[in-house]
Structure 1
Amino acid sequence: MSAQLSRLRELMGDPLLVPIQKGRSMTPTARALALRGPLRAALMTLGSVIQSELGFDPWNDKRVFRIAACDTALSTICEPLIASIAKHAGTQIQVSLNAVDPGLIGRQMEEGVFDLLIDSSRGVPLGMRCTALRTDEFVMAQRKGHPRGSEPLTLDGYCELNHLVVSPERESFRGYMDEYLRSAGMSRKIYLTVPTAGMVPGILMSTDLVCTMPRMLTQSQNDAIETFELPFESEPLQLMMAWHPRDDADAAILWLRQLAQSPAAPQASSSDTK
């Protein structure tokens, strides 16, 4: 170990590890910490190259898949994806499903923390490979029996309502829709923010708040919640699947990507046809 460390120190022009004053432990230098991310990425690339040569057998190979997904994707895409993995793979496969941290996801994808990202087109970091999985329109949801009634929305009426917004960022009292309202010289009152869409139905049913959300998230609540077309033009939500370019040929991640795109079983190993 000491000979290898000496060679690394000479190569890098830095001690890399230095002794702690008390005890016999070592601590990394700033240079060593700076190298951690690039070295991890290089090792991930090497692993992907080896994996592409070996192929992937989902019934017998051992693999941990690490997926980051936005809140909408967790309940609409990831649930059936997990069911498909369970159906088309053996018990050696493990899956770690994680919420997206918008402030960290770019670095995490670069460092290989996650194999796959499922997020809106706005949330995909630059430099990632990606493909569209699903598109949906935004609607405004309210409880049945809401004092507003069931008339079509007007822009003024929409802005006068008390809004609930789903945001993973703490105290973020704004959402995508506020950009469109601002361009029209309008604004709305955001009364409440919550971290997950799973909280929305219960809050809507017990208050007079309204929520602008993808239509797909309201379909299981048709008995208690009604939806309305927005009174302004807005871009649809496009859910994307993204991965790092180094994983293009990784047979296991290719299998996972194929499974995310289709409910049918993918081939165990094949070329990516983007």
Structure 2
Amino acid sequence: MRFNHLDLNLLVALDILLEEQNITRAAERLHMTQSATSGVLGRLRSYFEDELLVQVGRKMQPTPYALELMEPVRDVLLKIRSSITSKPAFDPSTSKRHFRLVTSDYLISVLLAQVIEKISQEAPFITFEMLGPGDNSSELLVRGEVDLMIVPERYVLEDHPSQLLFEEEHVCAVWNGNTQVGDSLTLEQYINLGHVSVGFGRTRHMSIEEWFMNQYGVSRRLEVITNDFNTLPQLVIGTQRVATMHGRLARLYAKHLPLRILPTPVKIPLMREFMLWHRTMDGDPMHRWLREQIGGIIQGLEQPLAA
């Protein structure tokens, strides 16, 4: 298909070339030889009357005009995928759709495990891929490489639809044998205890460190840093340490581990969990169905916050 003498199939190649900025990697993704991929780049250069990618040392870099093209080209391809290739009606029981989601292990435990269980009964051929949060998670959504992100409010993108799923409190979890605290914690005890916390990404973003430092001018005594929420309660067992964690996850583990769940000594702001998706997926019937399944499970999660 051509539009203004441009073969629209070349837009797929242009999108991959601008993303990879490397002929070899682009050729692999396009299932073409390097010479054929170079030929495609030549045709694109001729059409747009711009070099698009230029060699700088050992790397290729996009020209200013190519940088301007990146977002509209990706939007066009995503709109084609969502409006032309998606069927207006679908049968979940026979669908073989594959969904990619960015979310934390905490949300998999308290929400998505139940969603997937329910969907497996109604739509047994639908498959899922869970990606942990990282420094490029938002970029994956913008580029349409993931279907959904379920993340705290600070990661919501203004240009894409989002929906508040639920609010979450923080609580403190300690081992039942912890002799340094009773059924409550003072701020002094909290500061003096050793802490188990979570850090994500290359920047090692800590869960509540920045807020705590801004409010009280002191840092918690971090003795163990892990890379997921589900190991927090396990790492306080047999120690005098404390973990500050999501209330729902703490209550889930307290059913199986010797834990005491205590109120935090200071009021930590509620965490607001949002579901967000690329704007071109807003009207996709299968995508909308998945969002409805997630929203339906939320009702069962609503329980009184700990005192």
Question: What SS does the aligned partner of 1:218 have?
Answer: helix
Match in the other structure for 1:109 = 141
User: For residues 112 and 210 of structure 1, what CA distance do their matches in structure 2 show?
Assistant: 39
**For residues 122 and 184 of structure 1, do their structure 2 counterparts lie closer, same or farther at Cα, with a shift above 3 Å needed?**
same
Residue 224 of structure 1, CA deviation = 0.5
Of the structure 1 ranges 111-120 and 190-199, higher mean CA displacement relative to structure 2 is found in 190-199
Match in the other structure for 1:9 = 45
**For residues 169 and 10 of structure 1, do their structure 2 counterparts lie closer, same or farther at Cα, with a shift above 3 Å needed?**
closer
Match in the other structure for 1:158 = 190
TM-score w.r.t. the length of structure 1 is 0.81
User: For residues 219 and 44 of structure 2, what CA distance do their matches in structure 1 show?
Assistant: 58
Q: How many matched pairs? A: 255
Match in the other structure for 1:252 = 286
The reply to whether residue 47 of structure 1 matches residue 81 of structure 2 is: yes
Cα deviation code 1:226-260 (max 9, x no counterpart): 11111212211222111111111011110110111
Match in the other structure for 1:97 = 130
C-alpha contact 1:165 1:193 (8 A) present in aligned 2: yes
Show structure 1 runs of 5+ residues with no match. 20-26, 265-274
User: For residues 178 and 5 of structure 1, what CA distance do their matches in structure 2 show?
Assistant: 46
Residue 116 of structure 1, CA deviation = 0.5
Match in the other structure for 1:78 = 112
C-alpha contact 2:177 2:238 (8 A) present in aligned 1: no
Of the structure 1 ranges 239-248 and 2-11, higher mean CA displacement relative to structure 2 is found in 2-11
Amino acid at match of 2:214: R
1:169-248 matched pairs, under 5 angstroms: 169-170=201-202, 172=204, 174-222=206-254, 223-248=257-282
C-alpha contact 2:53 2:62 (8 A) present in aligned 1: no
C-alpha contact 2:165 2:273 (8 A) present in aligned 1: yes
User: For residues 77 and 49 of structure 2, what CA distance do their matches in structure 1 show?
Assistant: 21
Match in the other structure for 2:121 = 87
C-alpha contact 1:163 1:209 (8 A) present in aligned 2: yes
Residue 13 of structure 1, CA deviation = 1.5
Question: What SS does the aligned partner of 2:107 have?
Answer: helix
User: For residues 110 and 87 of structure 2, what CA distance do their matches in structure 1 show?
Assistant: 33
Of the three residues 147, 153, 163, the one matched with 1:121 is: 153
User: For residues 203 and 272 of structure 2, what CA distance do their matches in structure 1 show?
Assistant: 25
Residue 184 of structure 1, CA deviation = 3.0
Report sequence identity in percent.
25
User: For residues 259 and 45 of structure 1, what CA distance do their matches in structure 2 show?
Assistant: 23
C-alpha contact 1:165 1:173 (8 A) present in aligned 2: no
Residue 41 of structure 1, CA deviation = 3.4
Cα deviation code 1:39-95 (max 9, x no counterpart): 33321122112256633322223321111112321211111111122112142x221
**For residues 173 and 259 of structure 1, do their structure 2 counterparts lie closer, same or farther at Cα, with a shift above 3 Å needed?**
closer
Specify which structure has the bigger relative contact order, considering alpha-carbon pairs within 8 angstroms and separated by 6 or more residues: 1
Show structure 2 runs of 5+ residues with no match. 1-9, 11-35, 299-307
User: For residues 43 and 215 of structure 2, what CA distance do their matches in structure 1 show?
Assistant: 59
How large is the Cα RMSD of the aligned pairs? 2.9
User: For residues 273 and 191 of structure 2, what CA distance do their matches in structure 1 show?
Assistant: 27
User: For residues 229 and 12 of structure 1, what CA distance do their matches in structure 2 show?
Assistant: 61
Match in the other structure for 2:14 = none
**For residues 237 and 80 of structure 1, do their structure 2 counterparts lie closer, same or farther at Cα, with a shift above 3 Å needed?**
same
User: For residues 79 and 246 of structure 1, what CA distance do their matches in structure 2 show?
Assistant: 26
Amino acid at match of 2:150: I
Cα deviation code 1:95-149 (max 9, x no counterpart): 1111111x21121111001111111112323322111222221011110010213
C-alpha contact 2:161 2:279 (8 A) present in aligned 1: yes
Match in the other structure for 2:20 = none
C-alpha contact 1:15 1:29 (8 A) present in aligned 2: no
User: For residues 158 and 241 of structure 2, what CA distance do their matches in structure 1 show?
Assistant: 36
User: For residues 220 and 63 of structure 1, what CA distance do their matches in structure 2 show?
Assistant: 31
C-alpha contact 1:171 1:193 (8 A) present in aligned 2: no
**For residues 28 and 62 of structure 1, do their structure 2 counterparts lie closer, same or farther at Cα, with a shift above 3 Å needed?**
farther
Match in the other structure for 2:19 = none
